[in-house]
Amino acid sequence: MDNLPLAEHSLIFYQHDGAPPHNSHLVNDLLQEGFHDHWIANNGPFIWPPRSPDLSVLDYFIWGTIKNEVYNTPPTAIEDCMERVRNAFNKLNVNSIRRVMS
């Protein structure tokens, strides 16, 4: 942000991923100090729906698709899980991603 013109700082919001470890008072205090009221998280200054349609394709389409593919049946070992993740990404349909993005 140091290279960004000062006038544009007010246009930037930090959006948290909602992971429970990231919601401690210490983290929230640091976000408030660094971003003032320009951050979005659980217990933050902005209320934002978790499945908001303005999120990126990664947030509302790809991660859910990958998770469903990987955990269709429980992985048996870390290597199995990693292989499933690779396979799930390789199976992503480019046309489906294009439809979601348009």
Using DSSP's 3-state secondary structure scheme, residue 53 falls into: coil
Query: Has residue 65 got a pLDDT over 80?
Result: yes
Phi, psi at 40, each rounded to 5° = -120, 120
What are the angstrom distances between the C-alpha of 41 and each of 66, 74, 100?
Answer: 24, 30, 25
pLDDT at residue 85, rounded to an integer? 95
Give the count of beta carbons closer than 10 Å to the beta carbon of residue 100. Answer: 12
Query: Has residue 51 got a pLDDT over 70?
Result: no
CB 48 within 8 A of CB 70: no
Q: How confident is the model at residue 76 (pLDDT cuts 50, 70, 90)?
A: very high
- Quick check: pTM over 0.85? no
Using DSSP's 3-state secondary structure scheme, residue 14 falls into: strand
